[in-house]
Amino acid sequence: MPAYASKTAPPRGSFEFLEWRASPLVFPFLPAPRAFNYGVCSNGTDHSVGVAFLLIEELPGRPWTGQGVSGTTATDDEKARIWSDLAEILAELEHHPFPKAGSLCFHSSSVEISAVASDIFVVLTPNGPFHNSTAYYTAFAEQYLALIADGQLYTEYPINGYLVYRFLKDNVSQLAEQGGEAKPSEEFFLKHVDDKGDHLLVDDDLHITGIIDWQMARVVPRREAFGPSLVTADMNALCGGKVSISADDVALTDALRQKGLSWMTSCAVDEKARRFFWGLTLESEWLNALQLAIAILEVFGVSQDWAQWRETALKEYETDERLNGLVSSISR
């Protein structure tokens, strides 16, 4: 299977993690496919295939796309089976924390936390690794700011885009909170970051038989690892800019609590992390991005409407050189 349509692939360590995962002694509870071989054009290991590839084990089951046993949309009872299985896997992952955020990389005979695996088709992710969640989230927001200022992102509305991500950068402390108190040392956990649902393989009874597409997996802060994600999101609400904890969010949260996930017993659940990474997506027009911007402000506690907030933000960030550069370039 080609890993990418282009000749560039994720960092070598991302593939080596999959090979490392093949050991039955590593995360034996995680139903991920074993990787047998891979090739990357840039380092000459593609065996003349011409594209980066990853040769992996075929797991039983079919990708779950929201369908129930009968082929129609899954009922709440049917989805409960999936949430229960997924909660069991996530609860087990909580028992295997890491000291830093980043991506797993195989070095010599051990696994280390290294730079974050990069998805070149969206935006280049920050290097890392990160020793705390504040640095981790700040780096993501900062990279968006740099790309916007450089004219690579949101070219139709650079000032508005910059203000939104500057706001996110200034509010990463809301994501770093754990149980209302800062801890001297943080723990981080493995997460499948492309968890739209079709990464789950299910059998005819809707029980999870495998989880695929781990290439971009990373080790993330607790809130991101176990809080509301794409798999349970109401996508109409998410894309339409409506702040929403969906019925599926609640169902998976309840399942996690039943499985004994300690974080869920003491913290309120919100979609701050989900909104942070959804951001303004790659909307090319401000009319479509506006609702996403409003949702970001709302979920992080801003009660002003967009026009009022924008005016306030422009004054607050008037000494920001990159913002001033954008304003000047548009005024010419």
Mean pLDDT confidence for 10-36? 61
| 4 pLDDT tier (thresholds 50, 70, 90) | very low
Q: Please give the pLDDT value at position 261.
A: 79
Nearest Cα to 99, choosing from 186, 196, 207, 202? 186
Look-up: residue for tokens 């499948």?
192
User: Tokens 């026009």 label which residue?
Assistant: 307
Amino acid, single-letter form, for residue 160: N
Tokens linked to 202? 């299910």
Position 121 pLDDT exceeds 80? no
In the predicted model, what is the mean pLDDT of residues 261-273? 75
175 close to 186: Cβ distance less than 8 angstroms: no
User: At residue 76, does pLDDT exceed 80?
Assistant: yes
User: Scanning the structure block, which residue is given the tokens 């290294």?
Assistant: 114
Architecture of domain 12-326: Alpha-Beta Complex (3.90)
Find which of 5-14, 170-179, 238-247 is predicted with most confidence, using mean pLDDT.
238-247
Q: Distance (Å, rounded) from C-alpha 141 to C-alpha 134?
A: 11
For residue 266, what pLDDT band results from cuts at 50, 70 and 90?
low
Q: Show me where the domains of the chain are located.
A: 12-326
Helix pair angle (286-299, 158-170), 10° resolution = 20
pLDDT at 39: 85
Which residues share a beta bridge with 181? 178
List the single range of 4-13, 57-66, 317-326 with lowest mean pLDDT: 4-13
Could you tell me whether strands 103-107 and 110-114 are parallel, antiparallel, or unpaired per DSSP bridges?
Answer: antiparallel
In this predicted structure, the answer to whether residue 15 has a pLDDT above a threshold of 80 is no
d(CA 142, CA 168): 9
pLDDT tops 50 at residue 194 = yes
More confident residue, 164 or 180: 164
Dihedrals φ, ψ of 85, to 5°? Answer: -65, -45
Q: What is the mean pLDDT of residues 189-208?
A: 94
Residue 6: per-residue pLDDT: 37
Residue 9: what pLDDT?
A: 42
| Residue 167 near residue 300, CB atoms below 8 Å | yes
> How confident is the prediction for the chain on average, in pLDDT?
86
Asked if residues 149 and 322 have their Cβ atoms less than 8 Å apart, the reply is: yes
Is the pLDDT at 105 greater than 70, yes or no?
A: yes
Please report the pLDDT score of residue 300 as a whole number: 97
> Which 3-state string (H, E, C) describes the chain?
CECCCCCCCCCHHHHHHHHHHCCCCCCCCCCCCCEEEEECHHHCCCCCCCCCEEEECCCCCEECCCECCCCCECCHHHHHHHHHHHHHHHHHHCCCCECCEEEEEEECCEEEEECCCCCCCCCCCCCCCECCHHHHHHHHHHHHHHHHHCCCCCCCCHHHHHHHHHHHHHCCHHHHCECCECCCCCCEEEECCCCCCCCEEECCCCCEEEECCCCCCEEEEHHHHHCCCHHHCCHHHHHHCCCCCCHHHHHHHHHHHHCCCHHHHCCCCCCHHHHHHHCCCCCCCHHHHHHHHHHHHHHCCCCCCHHHHHHHHHHHCCCCHHHHHHHHHHHC
Give the model's confidence band at 20: pLDDT under 50 very low, under 70 low, under 90 confident, else very high: very low
pLDDT at 89 over 90: yes
Quick one: which of 210, 251, 249, 219 has its CA closest to 32?
Answer: 210
